[in-house]
Amino acid sequence: MERVRVFTNVEHNTQAFVGVNKSTIVVSFRGSKGTINWLHNLEFLFVPYIREGCVGCLVHAGFCWLLQSLWVEMRMYLRRLVAKKGIERILVTGHSLGGAMATIAAANLVSQNHLFSHGLKILLYTFGAPRVGNMQFADWLLASFCRGGHESYRVTHKRDVVPHVPPRFIGYLHAPHEVWYDNDGDTEYTNCNDIKGTPCSDLTVTE
């Protein structure tokens, strides 16, 4: 990994790093750490997510605020890196809270791909991430990824409860698509068909 830079906001206890691995820019967000993070996690209020074509889109206020605590500086650094010759893709990843922040960050990149990342492929891989937005946001994100030839995988594990919050009954919905490991570290997994409603990890938790 080259040109690694760590971004930290002490007030909000958030952290991420950006680096370059050959032709890939890697953007990784740290998971929940400390009381402040969990207070943001438990705040289920929506805020508008305003992007072209994203009509009625809402996202989790706490996750959005935490991302914003890092995003201005990260975006400036990413703009410099994407100008580097040989860069083909941006991989955005995170675990738990970091997965939620990664989802919104990837949405930001996809929505500005023609201006910001010069048509680079965006890869979003999250692990044990909570729900981030409403149905309109989930539908828009899926359509944007499909239209741009990007990839999005949401990895879940057995009975982990984090992917099941915030609850669906107040309007939160995951964007596809889920890869579910119903085991203790085995290599077998279920490649879930979210569009057809394959329940996968939803089988293990009653909401």
Domain boundaries, the chain: 2-203
Contacts of 188 (CB under 8 A, 6+ apart): 181
Residue 197: what pLDDT?
56
Measured between alpha carbons, how far is 205 from 207 in angstroms, rounded to an integer?
A: 6
Per residue in 157-195, pLDDT (tens digit) is 988 888 988 989 999 999 888 999 987 766 788 888 665
pTM of the prediction? 0.91
Per residue in 102-153, pLDDT (tens digit) is 999 999 999 886 555 567 899 999 999 999 999 999 999 999 999 888 999 9
Class of domain 2-203: alpha beta
| More confident site: 59 or 201 | 59
Per residue in 54-66, pLDDT (tens digit) is 999 999 999 999 9
Q: How far is residue 126 from each of residues 155, 174, 180, 191, measured CA to CA in Å?
A: 6, 12, 12, 14
Among positive and negative, which fits the CA dihedral 38, 91, 107, 133? negative
pLDDT at 69 over 60: yes
| More confident site: 199 or 152 | 152
Segment (H or E) for 2? strand 2-9
Measured between alpha carbons, how far is 20 from 3 in angstroms, rounded to an integer?
A: 6
One-letter amino acid identity for 32?
A: S
Catalytic site residue from 28, 96, 144, 152: 96
Per residue in 79-105, pLDDT (tens digit) is 899 888 889 999 999 999 999 999 999
Per residue in 13-38, pLDDT (tens digit) is 899 999 999 999 999 999 887 655 65
Residue 46: what pLDDT?
95
Q: Which two tokens stand for residue 136?
A: 């309109």
Angle at 129 between CA 118 and CA 108, to 5 degrees: 25
Told to judge if 160 belongs to the known catalytic residues of this protein, a careful annotator would answer yes
Residue 13: what pLDDT?
87
